[in-house]
Amino acid sequence: MSGEAEGPGSGEDRLIARHFRPLARHPAAFGLADDAAAFPPPAGCDLVLKTDPIIAGVHFLADESGDAVARKALRVNLSDLAAKGAQPAGFLLALALPGDIGEAWLTAFAAALGEDAEAFGCPLLGGDTDRTPGPLTVSITAFGTLPHGTMVRRNGARPGDRVVVTGTIGDAALGLRLRRDPGLAARWTLDPTMAAHLVARYRIPQPRNAVAELVRRHASGAMDISDGFAGDLAKLTRASGVRAEIDLRRLPLSPGARAALAAEPGLLATIVGGGDDYEILCTLAPAEVAAFSTAAAAADVLVTEVGVIAAGDGPPSYSGDNGRLQELERPSYSHF
Amino acid sequence: MSGEAEGPGSGEDRLIARHFRPLARHPAAFGLADDAAAFPPPAGCDLVLKTDPIIAGVHFLADESGDAVARKALRVNLSDLAAKGAQPAGFLLALALPGDIGEAWLTAFAAALGEDAEAFGCPLLGGDTDRTPGPLTVSITAFGTLPHGTMVRRNGARPGDRVVVTGTIGDAALGLRLRRDPGLAARWTLDPTMAAHLVARYRIPQPRNAVAELVRRHASGAMDISDGFAGDLAKLTRASGVRAEIDLRRLPLSPGARAALAAEPGLLATIVGGGDDYEILCTLAPAEVAAFSTAAAAADVLVTEVGVIAAGDGPPSYSGDNGRLQELERPSYSHF
C-alpha cells in the first residue's frame, strides 16, 4: 500500500491517502508513502506471524457494515496472536474491493480499523488495494512479538493439565443463526438483550489480547477457538498426543446461550461445534491454574476450567450432557 | 495455515498437509502444524514487510496454470523486497480457492511455489486456505531483512543522480496484449521466439533479487516497476521532490519489443506506460554508477542508465521519441 502525499496520483493513491494514511502513524509505515514497511524488531524477540483473511459471504454476511468488517478482519488475527502469547506489533492490509463498495462504506471501515488498531496497540504498517470482480475480501497479516522461543504451541498439553477457556462458548454460532433467522429469538425464548448479545458476538469478536502475556507465562498449550470448541480442542490434543475429558456442565455459557439451550437442547452441538468464538483454549499444569485465573480476573477476562488432559490418544470425551453428544470427533468448521 | 500431521482432521487440514507441508521446512513454520509462525529476526536488522495479492482476471488470466500463478504470486512480492534492498526471509500464503480448482492445479501450484521459495531463499512460513465464491486469489505477504535503517526509499533521488533500470522495459505489457490476441504477433513482425519471450515476461516475472544488496549499497532511491515505467518514475520523483529527464533512445528493449515498436511506433506508450515489468528503477549518484553497473553485470543482471534527475518539481520529461509521448503524467495502471 503506497499512496502519494499529494499531486496527481492515481485513484488508488487517493483512496489510500484519504482513508488509510491517517492510520499509518507508526514510523515503520513511512506514512504509506513507500513500497514496503521497515519494522525494527525488539532485540531477543521472535516475530509471531499470522494471516487469516475474511471473505464476504464466507466469513461475514455480504450486507455487513464497514465498521464490523474492519473489526472482525483485524480481530480474528489478533486472537491468534493472543492465544500464542504474543503482543501485537503491527499489521498489513490487503483489500480486494468489489465495484459496489463506496466512499461511505470505506470511511466507516477505515475509522473502525483505526480505532481497533489503537485499542489493541497494533498499527497499520502497509498494504495493498485492488478492485475485484469477486466478493469483498480483507486479508490482514498481523505480527506480534514475544521473547525468543516462548510462543505457546498447540502441542504442549500434558496429562494432568487442566483445560481452560476464556469468555463464553457458542455465542457466535448461535448469533449467526439468529442473524440469518431473527425468528429464532422467540423459539429460543431470548429477550432482546440476549439476542443482540449473541449476534454481536458473531459480528465482532472480542479477542483476548489482555491475557496474552498470562497465557505465555502459564499455559502449556494454547490456540484460539475459531472453528468450534470441540474441533479445536481435538486439534490441540492430537498435536499434543493426549486426550481431553470435558465436563460440559462447566462450559461457560452466556445468558442467551443458556436460555437457547434450555429451550432447545439440541443446540448443544451448535454451541460446542460451531465456530467464530475467538476465545482462547489453553492447558495449564494444575499448579498454574490459580495464578492464571486470578491474574485473568484482574484483567477482566473470565476464565473457566472445563476439563482435564489425560494420557493416551483419541478424541476428547464429553460428560455431563446425558449422552447427547455422540459425534464430536470432527464437528469443527472446515472450508473443504 | 495449520494442518494436522495425521489423524482425521478436516479437508482443509488434508489439503495443507498434502500440498504445503512439504514446503514448510523452515523451523519458524513448525511444519504448518501450529496456528502461527515464530521467526527469530537477525540482530540489528529491520524487517521489510510487503503484501501484494494477485486475483484471477485482474492480475493474471483466469485460465493461467497453477505453476505460473504460484510463481507470479511470490515474485511480485520478491520484486518489492529486491527494490527496497532487502534479502528475502520468508512468506505467508493466503489462498482463496474457487470450487473449480482441483488437485492437479494445486499440485502444480505447490510444486512451483516450492521451487521458487527454494530458488529465492524465501521459505513458506504459514498461511491460510479458504473456499471463495469469487475468483482465485493468492495473497502473499513476504518479508525480508536488511541492516537497521537502510531500506532504500522512494524519496531519496537527488538532482544529478542517474536514473537506472534493470532488465528490459515494456515486455510484459506487450506480452499481455499478445496473450489476449495472438494475431498481433504477425502485425508486430515477431518471430515465435520473440512472441514467446514477451508472453513469458507477462506470465512469470523475473524479480531482481540478485542485485538487492547492490541497490541497498549504491542507490539513493528505488522502487520496483509494477505499474509501468513512466508512472512509477513519476511516483519516485514526486516522492523525492525532483524531476527526471529521460532519453527514450536509451530505454532497454528486448528484441521482441524493439521489433514490435518498429512495426507499430504507437506501441511506445504501451512500453513505457504498461505494467508488470517487475524490474528495478533506481537512482544513483554519478560516482556510484560504475561500481553498481559492474557488480550487476557480474550478477548477470542488465542495468541501463536511461536519464538524469534534475532539480525542481514536475513530471518526467522524455526526449528521443520525436514528440510521440505527450501525456505521460499518469499513464500507469491504477485499479481505481
Place of cell 482443509: B12
The full 3-state SS of B247-288, as one line of letters, equals EHHHCCCCHHHHHHHHHCHHHHHHHHHCCCCCEEEEEECHHH
Q: Alpha-carbon distance A257 to A260, whole Å? A: 5
Q: Within a 10 A sphere around the Cβ of B322, how many other Cβ atoms?
A: 9
C-alpha separations of B100 from A56, B73, B288, B291 in Å: 19, 19, 52, 51
From the CA of A189, how many Å to the nearest CA of chain B? 34
pLDDT of residue A109: 98
Answer yes or no: do A47 and B38 touch at CB < 8 A.
yes
pLDDT of residue B9: 58
Q: Alpha-carbon distance A162 to A182, whole Å? A: 37
Global pTM value: 0.93
Measure CB to CB from residue B49 to each of A125, A132, A238 and give the nearest one.
A125
Classify residue A253 by burial, with Cβ atoms within 10 Å: 0-12, 13-18, 19+: buried
Q: Which residues contact B146 (CB under 8 A, 6 or more apart)?
A: A38, B45, B46, B48, B84, B85, B86, B87, B216
Q: Alpha-carbon distance A279 to B75, whole Å? A: 36
Answer yes or no: do B135 and A134 touch at CB < 8 A.
yes
Write phi, then psi, for B276 (nearest 5 degrees).
70, 20
The helix or strand, by DSSP H or E, that contains position B240, with its residue range, turns out to be: helix B229-240
Q: Within a 10 A sphere around the Cβ of B313, how many other Cβ atoms?
A: 11
pLDDT of residue A336: 56
Answer yes or no: do A50 and B58 touch at CB < 8 A.
no
C-alpha separations of B109 from A132, B7, B22, B97, B122 in Å: 21, 25, 13, 12, 16
Selection from A152, A137, A54, A40 nearest residue A90 by Cα: A40
Sequential DSSP letters for A48-65 = EEEE--EEBTTTB-TT--
In the stretch 68-87 of chain A, residues with CB closer than 8 A to chain B read 80-81, 83-84, 86
pLDDT of residue A13: 80
Span between the terminal Cα atoms of chain A, in Å: 31
Q: Which residue ranges form the domains of chain A, and what is each CATH number? A: 11-147 (3.30.1330.10), 154-319 (3.90.650.10)
Over its length of 336 residues, how does chain A's per-residue pLDDT go in tens digits?
A: 555 443 445 777 888 889 999 999 999 999 999 999 999 999 999 999 999 999 999 999 999 999 999 999 999 999 999 999 999 999 999 999 999 999 999 999 999 999 999 999 999 999 899 999 999 999 999 999 999 999 999 999 999 999 999 999 999 999 999 999 999 999 999 999 999 999 999 999 999 999 999 999 999 999 999 999 999 999 999 999 999 999 999 999 999 999 999 999 999 999 999 999 999 999 999 999 999 999 999 999 999 999 999 999 999 999 987 666 655 544 455 555
Contact indicator for A238, A232 with CB cutoff of 8 Å: no
Answer yes or no: do A48 and B38 touch at CB < 8 A.
yes
The full 3-state SS of B164-178, as one line of letters, equals EEECCCCHHHHHHHH
Q: Which residue of A has its CA nearest to B329?
A: A8
Low-confidence residues of chain B: pLDDT under 70: 1-9, 322-336
pLDDT of residue B55: 96
